Chain A
Amino acid sequence: MSDQAIDEHLRKAYEHGWVTDIESDTFPPGLNEEVIAALSARKGEPRWLLEWRLKAYRHWLTMTEPSWQKPHHEPIDYQSISYFSAPKSKDDAPKSLDEVDPKLLETYEKLGIPLAERAALAGVAVDAVFDSVSVATTFREELGRAGVIFMSFSEAVKHHPELVKRYLGSVVPIYDNYYAALNSAVFSDGSFVFVPKGVRCPMELSTYFRINEMNTGQFERTLIVVEDGAYVSYLEGCTAPQRDRNQLHAAVVELVAEGNGEIKYSTVQNWFPGDEEGRGGIYNFVTKRGICKGRGSRISWTQVETGSAITWKYPSVILKGDDTVGEFYSVAVTANRQQADTGTKMLHVGKNTRSVIVSKGISAGRADQSYRGLVRVNKGADNARNFTQCDSLLLGDRCGAHTFPYIEVKNPTATVEHEATTSKVSDEQVFYLRQRGLSEEDAVNLVVNGFCKDVFKQLPMEFAVEAQKLLAVSLEGSVG
Chain B
Amino acid sequence: MLEIHDLRVRVGDVEVLKGLDLVVRRGEVHAIMGPNGAGKSTLAKVLAGADGYEVTGGTATWDGEDLLGLEPEERAAKGVFLGFQYPVEIPGVSNAYFLRTALNAIRKARGEEELGAPAFLKLLKEAMAFLEMDDSFRNRFVNVGFSGGEKKRNEILQLLVLRPALALLDETDSGLDVDALRVVSRGVNSLRGGEHAVVLVTHYQRLLDHIVPDRVHVLAGGRIVRSGDKDLALQVEAHGYADVGASA
Contact = CB atoms under 8 A, between A and B. Distances in A.
The finding on whether chains A and B are genuine partners in a shared complex, rather than unrelated, reads: yes
Contact of A435 (B72, B93, B101, B109): B72
A25 to B, nearest CB: 48
Interface in A414-440: 426-429, 431-440
Interface stretch (A31-39, A204-212, A263-271, A448-456): A448-456
Nearest to B76: A437
Give the interface size bracket for A toward B: 20 to 34
Nearest to A423: B91
B92 interface: yes
Contact of B82 (A435, A447, A450): A435
Give the interface size bracket for B toward A: 20 to 34
A436 to B, nearest CB: 4
Interface in B24-64: 48-51
A442 interface: yes
A450 B91 contact: yes
B129 interface: no
A429 B87 CA distance: 9
B105 interface: yes
Q: What DSSP secondary structure best describes chain A's contact surface?
A: helix
A446 interface: yes
B49 A429 contact: no
A6 to B, nearest CB: 17
Contacts of A432: 84, 87-88, 90
A252 B98 CA distance: 40
Contacts of A454: 92
Given A431-B50, A434-B72, A442 B91 contact: no
Contacts of A433: 90, 98, 102
Interface in B106-135: 106, 109
Nearest to A445: B101
B214 to A, nearest CB: 25
Nearest to B97: A446
B71 interface: yes
A447 B72 contact: no
Given A429-B88, A446-B90, A454-B92, A435 B76 contact: yes
Contacts of B98: 433, 436, 446
Contact of A436 (B49, B76, B91): B76
B3 interface: no
24 contacts: A426-B88, A429-B88, A431-B88, A432-B88, A432-B90, A435-B48, A435-B50, A435-B73, A435-B75, A435-B81, A436-B76, A436-B162, A437-B103, A438-B73, A439-B73, A440-B71, A442-B101, A446-B90, A446-B98, A447-B90, A450-B90, A450-B92, A450-B141, A451-B91
Interface of A: 426-429, 431-440, 442, 446-447, 449-454
